Chains A and B, each alone.
Chain A
Amino acid sequence: MRKLLFIVSALLVFSTASYGQFADYLKKSEVHGSFEVDGMYYHADEAMGITDSIIDGRNFGFNGFASVTYSLGKFSAGMRYEAYLPPIAGFDPKLEGSGFPNLWASYNSEKLSFTVGNFYEQFGNGLIMRTYEEWTLGYDNSINGARVVITPVKGLILKGVYGTQRYFWSKYEKNNRGIVKGADIELNFNDAFQSMESSKLRLSLGASAVSKYQVDEDPIYKLPRNVASFAGRMNMGLGRVNFSTEYAYKINDPSAMNEYIYKPGQALIASISYSTRGFGAFAMFKRIDNMSYKSDRTVTSNALDISYLPAITEAHTYMLAAMYPYATQLNGEIGYQLQINYKVPKKSKLGGKYGMGISVNYSQVNDIVRTAPSDTTEIGVPGTLGYESDFFKFSDHVFYRDLNIEIDKKFSKKFKGTFTYIYQDFDIATIQGHTGEPMITSHIGIADITYKFTSKKALRAEIQGLFTDQDKGDWAAILLEYTISPHWFFSVADQYNYGNPIQSDQLHFYTGSFGYTHKTSRISVTYGRQREGVVCVGGVCRNVPASSGFYVTLSSSF
């Protein structure tokens, strides 16, 4: 009995002290989070060829996530819950399921940061290492493992990562995919050296190395179990001019993506920009040669990418301008982009009372030139070097060409508009795999006009036209959006494929939607038809099938 009394008393004393400590911890703790749910209800639409038998009872699609992060001083931990029950049409069916794909804990001090669990990382521009999550694509290639970031002295950052990548809901098991490891070093001269602190020249150099390990189970091919890649980069600024470049090299990496050829891969990006008041110019060059780099050599879908090779073309957001989006061709492309922005001064003849913005952008991407690796071997034969390629040569085969001119003009305090013309060449056979179909040449015109009734109420109208003799022919589109700031919006839109050569496919793709925003929370409801299309973010794309029905999205953060 005495023993029991002693234990109870001790516990009381201890718990009182602990409670005080616990309350103190609670005060210092912070919890942040965000969530989003996207729901879709499908119904049959005979005109679009969507029948009840195609829907087959699966009338609902549901994508949802919630992320929570807890932090206390230098320590933080978090988790992410996801559910795809089933995934909304166009998302990879392998996403179906629910659970906690991301769990992590981290310690961050001035000189050391350490993370275990799932994390995202990027070395330089990402040419040999970038893991990221993009909700709109259903894409997540996070690494599950450990990461260390060391800053031994000001201006010098060292990074190391080790782990396996997320592949939908498939847990890593021995040999079911590769293991990724990498290191990166970056030196910012202006921070590291006192003598350069106030220098006009801004300079940073970086280098990284990444390797993947995957067992060789193929009876026919001799496959490298360890595939390494290396990259070096430089950022330099002098006055108004900024120059940035990165080169990457990958050793032999035969895979399903490159049809099991053994040629090393290379990538180079370089950009230069100049800006001054009212004027900006930008030029970029990119060459990619056999640079798909995945932690499973048999995967060909948008998954398990270690490297990230961004598209250098303009990413259009207007409905019809985004109809033919470019996606980076990982097996080889060479291209460039040029952009000039000019602000016509206020009170000039052309600028009028408010001035006028003019932007011209041109981008072009071609195939690289390939020649046979030897007299006896054809180009691209599996189990050979594949081909040889002259580094700076452009092939005659154009993948994509885009010229867009945008004029931004404010006419009065209440009335402003953006007017865009776009010329596009789009090789749909290569970019979207529509083998045999001809290059699509299109002209697109867009007028985006906003009229402000009051400081809170505005009506925006988009009038768009896409004119082409190929694919589905001409389109016209209109959108009207009425906004009552800061809470409400209402919109109606219609995309009409009046030029479709098949008369029964000359359809209207109409939608009506409204939304309500309160602080960081937002709900929107849309009803209508979704045309078949492709959604791209940063050169990674997903195909969206045609659908008809209700779409609800709810998001919030705290």
Chain B
Amino acid sequence: MKLYRIFAFMLMLAVAFAACEKIDPPYKVVTDGGGNGSGESGDTVRNVLIEDFTGHTCVNCPSAAHKAHELINFYGQRVVVMSVHAGWFARPDAHDPLFATDFRTESGEAWNTFWSVDIQGNPNGLINRLGGAANGVINPDNWAPVVEDESQKEFLAKVTINNDYNDSNKRLSVEVEAEFQKDMEGEYWLYVGLLQDSIVAPQKDEDVEGGIDTNYVHMHTLRTSLNGIWGEVLNDGETIVEKATYDKTYTLDFEDDWVPEHCHIVAFVYYASNEGLYDDKYVIQVDQESVIPKLEE
């Protein structure tokens, strides 16, 4: 009898030991955009940049794009996604016309090498380029908590973008202004690039029967840079004073397959450490603006 008592007692102990939490629906936090109630605009709060390193032959990349889209739904304009086609899975395939298109960019390839992204596998990404060259790559399943963390950080700079697209000569003029919100030390750089939405092109996808989605809609695709692979330095290391503004202007001639109505200019300011190979490239603010302003409804 004693044996049964011990048995029953231990079983009860084991069950108590195994703490558990059953979650009841809804399983997701409901918001109306803007994340957890800290504002909707990069004019007053910190926005977050997600660089989604992808490739058209990467079968798991659509799920990462889905995660990025989920974060846009949750945070609204406060999250800016940049899809960077780079590395092994982004290479055009000369033998397969479905994947002959080259979506790679000079910037994307350089970043892929710098952060060793495709060596660690795709999909993968950078969040505000946190973690330096050695620890910057973040698995899509970890994006959400990191984005949340970054979105709560101090508002340090405001980035304003003004686009003027001339349809007759297919030339875009861009003015970018970075306004710092406090005195700051160190070297700050500005990167300006062109993103394109709604590119319909084949994509390998493990969730599609047959493994290839021939009508996949590529969003936020980085098309080109307006100011070089790494952008350009703003302050040359001089101390930045509160409310200091830095203005830059650029022009870009559109290529035939860049659809202006689907394009955005993305601009971000990042801190670059002055040591060695600029190991640290931490983004302090990002914003984006449509090339063709959307009509008010």
What is the interface of chain A, defined by CB distance below 8 A to chain B?
93, 152-153, 156, 158, 160, 181-185, 187, 192, 207-211, 213, 217-230, 251-252, 254, 256, 259, 262, 297-298, 300, 382-385, 429, 433, 435-437
Contacts and interface: CB of A to CB of B under 8 A. Distances in A.
Given A219-B35, A230-B15, A298-B139, A435 B23 contact: no
Contacts of A217: 145, 148-149
Contacts of B232: none
Contacts of B7: 156, 185, 187
Interface of B: 3, 6-7, 10-11, 13-15, 17-23, 25-29, 35-36, 59-60, 63, 70-71, 74, 119-120, 139, 141-142, 144-145, 147-149, 204-206, 210-212
A95 to B, nearest CB: 14
A156 B6 contact: yes
Nearest to A184: B14
Sorted nearest first, the 10 A-B pairs with minimum C-beta distance are A436-B211, A228-B20, A435-B211, A209-B18, A183-B14, A256-B141, A217-B145, A219-B148, A211-B18, A224-B21
6 contacts: A209-B14, A220-B71, A220-B74, A298-B141, A383-B27, A435-B206
Nearest to A187: B7
B27 A230 contact: no
Contacts of B59: 433, 435-436
Contacts of A224: 20-23
B29 A208 contact: no
A435 B20 contact: no
B25 to A, nearest CB: 8
Given A156-B6, A224-B21, 5 more contacts: A156-B3, A227-B20, A252-B23, A385-B25, A433-B59
B29 A228 contact: no
B22 A252 contact: yes
B19 A228 contact: yes
Contacts of A183: 10, 13-14, 17-18
B127 to A, nearest CB: 13
Given A209-B17, A209-B18, A219 B147 contact: yes
B211 A437 contact: yes
A118 to B, nearest CB: 21
A210 B20 CA distance: 10
A181 B16 CA distance: 11
B27 A262 contact: yes
Contacts of A158: 10
Contact of A433 (B21, B26, B35, B206): B206
A10 to B, nearest CB: 51
Given A436-B210, A436-B211, A185 B23 contact: no
A300 B120 CA distance: 13
A223 B23 contact: yes
